[in-house]
Structure 1
């Protein structure tokens, strides 16, 4: 009985070591699961042909990342809307904006906005609750980054928890089998 448990454990360890090179379970999917990364593109939005445009770079976890050519008085919320919003994995509570002209946002008083050397970290959800979303006018060559949400448990911790739970399950099953097989003798 114990020999069978040891063999089963060795098979599991061999299997686990073969998949441990993958960082996430998503990396273990089939070839049909492979998706190409979102390609950055250029987008032009204007109301009239004579309207002057500025370029703004939008990167990260958004539906359509790329360079956006938008009218001069366009705000951050408008650009994110034009991009189709964030992906399901986008974290709107930590949007990073590198301003080429940080003085324009220096006057904005909000708990949702934190400035450090011309780069702003913005909790967009909180800012919209406050009603200050219209004040976030963009300038030429501003860069906006929407980071992906971080999972609560890292892939390494998830692997460890899985390994420990499987080993415990095998050990407890062996103990129960051993106990009940001795009682029936």
Structure 2
């Protein structure tokens, strides 16, 4: 009987070590896919050689962030489309636009746009659904930022939940092993 209990304890110990190793690898990011850092690039879009271009910066959670040289009549949604759209983590309901000349959007009347001292928060989902993108023309040196969606649980809370569930799993496994070994 002592041999069985010893084997159960050794098994529980080995299981706990492997679980801790897994949690540690997850915490340090060793289990994540290795991705190269996202770097900004320059993109040029024009329909003809004679078309004059403006420079616009697009950063944040888009597939191709960078500096864009686009025609003067380019609107916000077209710019995001040229960038391959938002990433899965991108929140297009809170796109931030810093205009060099904020008065250019003063006459735009839309419930999808909120103005804060020359910066605009644009709900691109509403613009797509209800229209009005043509009014949101970009100008030279405008800056557009697509934020990431906010998470419900912070990174610290996730780590705490992982550790607590790991410890609970180890304790419950030990109890099950002990219970099953006592019945035999």
TM-score (ref. length: structure 2): 0.80
Aligned residues: 178
Partner of 1:81: 81
Contact in 2 for aligned 1:40/1:66 (Cα 8 Å):
yes
Counterparts of 2:78 and 2:19, CA distance in 1:
52
The reply to whether residue 4 of structure 1 matches residue 9 of structure 2 is yes
- 5+ residue gaps, structure 2, are none
Counterparts of 1:17 and 1:165, CA distance in 2:
10
Partner of 1:15: 21
Contact in 1 for aligned 2:23/2:162 (Cα 8 Å):
no
Counterparts of 1:29 and 1:182, CA distance in 2:
37
Q: 1:64 to 1:17 in 2, by over 3 A?
A: closer
Deviation of 1:137 (Å): 0.5
Q: 1:65 to 1:159 in 2, by over 3 A?
A: same
Partner of 1:172: 172
Matches within 5 A, 1:1-185: 1=5, 4=9, 7=13, 11=17, 15=21, 18-19=24-25, 22=28, 27-29=29-31, 33-182=33-182
- 5+ residue gaps, structure 1, are none
Counterparts of 1:20 and 1:170, CA distance in 2:
17
Mean alpha-carbon deviation: is it higher for 56-65 or for 5-14?
Answer: 5-14
Contact in 1 for aligned 2:23/2:163 (Cα 8 Å):
no
Q: CA RMSD in A?
A: 2.7
Mean alpha-carbon deviation: is it higher for 163-172 or for 87-96?
Answer: 163-172
- 1:65-105 CA-to-partner distances (Å, cap 9, x unmatched) read 11111121211111111122112222111111100111111
TM-score (ref. length: structure 1): 0.80
Counterparts of 2:148 and 2:71, CA distance in 1:
28
- 1:122-154 CA-to-partner distances (Å, cap 9, x unmatched) read 110022212111110111100011122233322
